[in-house]
Amino acid sequence: MSDFFSKRLSGLKPYVPGEQPKNIRNLVKLNTNENPFPPSPEAVKAGKAALKKLNLYSDPDASALKKAIADSLNVGRENVAVFNGSDEALAFFFAGFCDDGAVINDITYGFYKVFAMFYGVETTVVPLKEDFTVSVEDYADKKGTVFIANPNAPTGIALGTESIAALSLQNPARLVVVDEAYVDFGAESAVKILKDRPNVAVVRTFSKSRSLAGGRLGFVISSEEIIADLEKVRNSFNPYNVNSVTLAMGEAAIKDRKYFEMTRQTVIKNRAVLTAGLEKLGFKVLDSRANFIFASPPDKDGKRFYSSLRERGVLVRYWDEGRLSAFCRITVGDEKAVGTLIACAEEIYGR
C-alpha cells in the first residue's frame, strides 16, 4: 500500500470474481453464471449498427432503452433508471440511500459487504436459517436499508412476492432493495408490487437471462422519487455511464421476446437435468430458481469435488467458508456441458 492511499480504505477487501481463464478451449466453464447462449441476433445486429456512431457520446438519459424496459414491464418510463451493470446501481444505493446503515444476509452476494466498507456504511448481518432460507421475521427490528438477493446467491433459493411485501410492511420508512439478477429463471419478481410498496426498489441485469454479461448493463425499477434520487447520484458520477453499443443491444434484446423465452426455458430445462443427475448420485441440491445450482456431494466435501472437477477440466465455484464449504455452485450450461459435469461426478463418486 502506498503512502498516499486513503487510511479509511486501507482494510478494504475487494470483491473476488469467479476465475476467468485466458485459454478456455479445453475447459468447461461453469463458475461465473454466464448464459451458455450468445446474445439475441437482433441485439448483435443493433450493436454492429451502433459501432458507426462511437464518435458521439451515448445518450445520457438512455431514453430508447428506458422506454423498451418500461413497456416490457408495464411501468412508467419515469420508474426506470439504467446503469453500467447492476453492480453500479447497487453501489449507488449504498452511496446514497444508507444513512441508517445496511441490512444483509450472512450468505448472499459478496459485493454487498464490499460496497458497505467502501462507502463506510454500518452493516447489520442477518443469518440465514439452517436450510439456507430467509426468515422475514428476523428483519422486523432491524434499521437500515435492506438488501435482498432474490433468488439468493449462491444458494439459488427465492422468496415469493408475499414475503417481499411483508418485509416492506415491517417498516414503511425503511427501503428494501431487491436484487433480481436471476429472477427470470423461475422466481417471482417484486415489480408487480411496486405500485403499492413505495419503499421497494428492484435491481435487474442483462448479464444473465439476456446474455449480455460483457456488455455491462443493468437497471432499476422503483417509485418516481427513488429513481430521481438515483439519477442525481448517477449524474454526479458519470452521466454517460452506458456506452452506445450496449444501449442499442439492450434495447434490441429486451424487444426480442422469442429468443429470450427460448434461451430462458432451455436453461430451466437443463437445470432440471443437472439437478436430477446429481441427486441420483447422492448429492444434496438446493431448490434453485437461478441459472445455477448449489450442490453438496455425498461426502459433503465441496473442496474435493471442486478440485476433482478442475482436474478433469471443469470449472465450478467453491468457497472455503463455514457451511458453504460443503457445497459448490455450478452454472447451468448447455446440454453438452451439463452432460460432461454429470459424467465427471459419476467418475468421482461412482454410479
Identify the pLDDT of residue 20: 78
Please report the domains of the chain, with CATH numbers, ordered by start residue. Answer: 13-38+258-349 (3.90.1150.10), 41-255 (3.40.640.10)
Pairing of strands 102-105, 28-29: unpaired
Which phi and psi (to 5°) does residue 146 adopt?
-90, 130
Q: Report long-range pairs for 336-342 (Cβ below 8 Å, ≥24 apart).
A: 337/28, 337/30, 337/36, 338/270, 338/273, 338/274, 338/277, 340/28, 340/314, 341/28, 341/30, 341/274, 341/309, 341/314, 341/316, 342/273, 342/274, 342/277, 342/278
Residue 194, Cβ neighbours under 10 Å: how many? 22
Which phi and psi (to 5°) does residue 100 adopt?
-95, 15
CA distance 142 to 258: 43
User: Maximum CA pair distance of the chain?
Assistant: 59
Please tell me the pTM assigned to this model: 0.96
DSSP letter at 343 equals H
In the chain (351 residues long), the average pLDDT of successive 10-residue segments reads 89 84 80 97 98 97 98 97 98 98 97 96 97 97 97 97 97 98 98 96 98 98 98 97 98 98 98 98 98 98 97 96 96 97 95 59
Residue 214, Cβ neighbours under 10 Å: how many? 10
Identify the pLDDT of residue 191: 98
CA 222 to chain centre: 18
Identify the pLDDT of residue 26: 79
Residue 151, Cβ neighbours under 10 Å: how many? 25
- The DSSP line for 90-122 is HHHHHHHS-TT-EEEESSS-THHHHHHHHTT--
CA distance 287 to 329: 13
Identify the pLDDT of residue 21: 77
Identify the pLDDT of residue 293: 98
Output b/e per residue, 19-48; b: 16+ Cβ within 10 A. eeeeeeeeebbbbbbbbbbebbebbeebbe
CA distance 130 to 57: 50
Q: How far is CA 61 from CA 47, 213, 237, 253, 317, in A?
A: 18, 21, 14, 18, 37
C-alpha cell at 108: 448472499
Identify the pLDDT of residue 232: 98
